[in-house]
Amino acid sequence: MKKTQIQIAVVAVIAIISAVLYYQPVKGLIKPKETRSAGGVASTDDHDHPAATVSVEQVSETSKAAIGEALAAKINDLEAKLKVTADDAGKLAIQKELATQWDDVNQPGPAAFYYKDVASKEGTADSWVKAGNRFNDAYKLTQDTTAQPTYLANAVEAFETARKLAPDNLDVKTGLGVAYVNGGAPSPMQGISLLLEVVKQDPNNRNANLNLGMFAMKSGQYDKAIGRFKTVIAQKAEVEPYFYLAESYKQLGQKKEAIEAYNKCKEMMPDPAFGQRIDEYIKELK
């Protein structure tokens, strides 16, 4: 992976962590006074942003600005080629390549739209799951409140379509559960119920446990969150679950365990800027 792509990956991890902890409170799991605004300050504003529709073109432009001209060059060429391609087979091949290119630079927003185009043509449960996962990722990552309703609605549509094709598929249930908790259902508990169904059938399911852990954090159930993150880490040690584990320990006042988990984050992502931020978190605990 090129240096620029590594830097983008680091930024993406930090953005995901920030989004989960501060930018995406889940109504119904936390009380209004416990929700946080984009600055991390407590807020009681329960106003819903009006639904809006954003296009792949709008999302792509924002993502291109984030990755820079050099990495966007091939994507621009593919988009231009897509506009002048008439046959369905040719379009499908380009849409698949565009989805992959956006994946490579950690931009789930535009990738999701192209995966949805692919799923609409292929009509398989797997293709709809791939599209739904990217829409869920885009919703989790973005701080753009005008884009969130579009990502959420598309995630629900993708997973509900997949569920008709594969009603017992655990990836489908997990993705739909996450979308429901995020606001795609009248009550977030509909989503939690789906996630609990998954871990009942597959206790070590990584995605379900990770999301149940994050939702437990948002509802202040840090002891439950720790158990979920340990289950995830036991299968594969990664920065994201280790960071959430550290935060959960910190909230419970278990400083030693929190510091150990923070240090694990530094070991797994030897980026100076990220390491400096982790050192600040550790300093607060000493």
Query: Domains (ranges, CATH) in the chain?
Result: 49-202 (1.25.40.10), 221-286 (1.25.40.10)
Residue pair 125/162 in contact (Cβ under 8 Å)? The answer is: yes
| Backbone angle region of 187, left / alpha / beta, with phi > 0 → left and psi within -120 to 50 → alpha | beta
Q: Return the pLDDT at 12.
A: 55
pTM recorded for the entire structure: 0.85
Q: Return the pLDDT at 272.
A: 86
d(C-alpha 149, C-alpha 134), whole Å: 14
Tokens describing residue 117: 């185009």
Measured distance between the N- and C-terminal CA atoms of the chain, rounded to whole angstroms? 36
Tokens describing residue 139: 């919703």
What is the mean pLDDT for each group of 10 consecutive residues in the chain (286 residues)?
A: 49 56 53 36 36 86 94 97 96 98 95 98 98 96 91 97 98 98 94 98 97 93 97 95 95 97 92 88 92
Q: What is the DSSP letter of 51?
A: P
CA 11 to chain centre: 14
Q: Return the pLDDT at 96.
A: 98
Q: Return the pLDDT at 21.
A: 53
Give the other-Cβ count within 10 Å of 133's Cβ. Answer: 23
d(C-alpha 155, C-alpha 137), whole Å: 9
Q: Return the pLDDT at 26.
A: 54
